[in-house]
Amino acid sequence: MIVNSVRLVGFRNYEDETIELSPGINIITGENAQGKTNFLESVFILSCGHGFRTRADSELISFDREFARVSGKLCSGEREQSIEINMGRGQRKQILCNGVKKNAAELSEILRVVLFCPDDLNMIKDGAKARRRFMDMAISQLRPSYATLISDYTRLYEHKKRILSDWREKPSLLEALDEFSDSLCRCSAQIIRYRAAFTKRLCEVAIPIHSEFSGSGEELSLCYQTVGTVSDPFAAASDIYPELLEHQSAHRQAEIASGNVLSGIHKDDLEININGANARLYASQGQTRTAALSLKMAEREISLQDTNECPVLLLDDVLSELDSKRQEFVLNRIGGGQTLITCCEDGQLKGRTGGKIINVAAGRIARPQDSER
C-alpha cells in the first residue's frame, strides 16, 4: 500500500501543490508552522475522509478560499488507484474513488494509515476518551462497517442528550426517550463485540512487542472495560443487547433527573497495566511512552496481518518527543512499508535512515530531493 503522490488545492496553507512520494521513507522537514503536519493530515484524510485535528471540513479550507481538494494517486490491492476529496463551505463533502462516488467509511478499503503523533504518547495517562479514540480509529481502518456504527451511535447519543437536556421546557420529548435508548443499546451491542475482539488482538501482538521494547522484564496487560451488566463482550449482539437494556433501565430516572446520558459505551475504557499496576495511575513517563509505542506498533502489525498489506505509517514530529533508545526502536520497526516522518531538521535523522527529503516552507515544497544516507 503506497501513496505515490498527493495534490493539495486550497487545503490549509497549501494553494496548489503536488508532492511526489517515495515508496519507502519520506522525511518532511521545515520550520514550525510551515505545513508539515498539514501535509500528513491530508494523507490521513485520504484514508478516512476527515482530519485528525478537526472534524469540521471548514477548518481544512484555506482562509481565502471557498473550496479545497485533496487528491492522491496510490498503489493498493496490487493496482493503481485514485482518491479525490472535494470540500466546499456550506456544501456536502464529495468523495471519489477511481472516479466513483463513495462514502468516508469506504476509503479504508483502499488506503489504510497508522498515525502516531505526540498526543498519542499521552494516551496512557489521559482519560478514557483518548484510549477509546485509539480503539475506534484503529478498528475503523480495519472494519469499515465499524465506522458507520460509531457514526450511528454518535447521532443517537446526541438526540438522546438533547431530549434529556430539554424535556423540562418540552415534557413531550420524554415520549421518545425509550426509543432512542433502545436504538443505542442495539448499536452498542455490536460496537462492544468489535472493541472486545480488537483488544484480544492487541494482547496477542502488543504484549510481545512491549516485552522486546522494555527489555527489563516488564509485563504489559490490557483489559477492555464496558457497561457493567455485560457478562461477556464476546457474546452475540443479541445476547449483549438485553444486558445493555437492563443497565439503561436502572439508570433511566437518574438520567432524567440529571439531564445527562449516564449509561452507555461512551464511557468504555481500555485499561492498561504494567506488572499488574494501572499504568494511568502508577507508570513512570518512560513506562507510559514505551506502552504507547507498543500499542501503535501493534496497530500497524495487526493491519498487516489482516490485509497482507502494510499500512502507510505517519509519524508527526513524534521522534523529537522520544529519547534515543525509543527513537531507535521506532526507526528499526518502520521498514517494510511506506513511512512519512515530519521533523524540523532533516539532520535529526542523518545517518539513521534513508529516503526522500521533502522540505516545506509556507505551504510550498521548497527543496525536494532524494537522499541515500
pLDDT tens for 127-186 read 999 999 999 999 998 998 999 999 999 999 999 999 999 999 999 999 999 999 999 999
C-beta of residue 51 within 8 angstroms of C-beta of residue 59 = yes
* pLDDT of 203 strictly over 80: yes
The mean pLDDT of 212-234, rounded to a whole number, is 91
Residues 6+ apart with CB under 8 A from 324: none
The mean pLDDT of 182-206, rounded to a whole number, is 97
Q: Which residue, 197, 202, 194, 109, is CA-closest to 146?
A: 194
| Whole-number Å distance between alpha carbons of 357 and 351 | 13
| Whole-number Å distance between alpha carbons of 7 and 42 | 9
Q: Is the overall model pTM greater than 0.85, yes or no?
A: yes
| Whole-number Å distance between alpha carbons of 2 and 96 | 18
Tell me whether strands 2-11 and 67-76 are parallel, antiparallel or unpaired: antiparallel
Q: Would you place residue 236 in the very low, low, confident or very high pLDDT band (cuts 50, 70, 90)?
A: very high
The mean pLDDT of 98-111, rounded to a whole number, is 90
pLDDT of residue 366: 76
| Whole-number Å distance between alpha carbons of 58 and 76 | 29
In the chain, DSSP finds a helix count (H) and a strand count (E) of: 8, 16
Mean pLDDT (the chain) is 90
Query: Which of the two residues, 217 and 283, has the higher pLDDT score?
Result: 283
* pLDDT of 368 strictly over 50: no
DSSP assignment of 129-192: HHHHHHHHHHHHHH-HHHHHHHHHHHHHHHHHHHHHHHTTT-GGGGGGHHHHHHHHHHHHHHHH
The mean pLDDT of 330-346, rounded to a whole number, is 82
For the chain, which domains are there? Answer: 1-112+309-373 (3.40.50.300), 123-308 (1.20.1050.90)
Q: Would you place residue 17 in the very low, low, confident or very high pLDDT band (cuts 50, 70, 90)?
A: very high
pLDDT of residue 266: 95
pLDDT of residue 333: 82
pLDDT over 90 for what percent of the chain?
Answer: 65
* pLDDT of 370 strictly over 50: no
pLDDT digits (tens, 9 = 90+) for 252-308: 999 999 999 999 999 999 999 999 999 999 999 889 989 999 999 999 999 999 988
Q: Which residue type, as a one-letter code, is found at position 338?
A: Q
C-beta of residue 195 within 8 angstroms of C-beta of residue 233 = yes
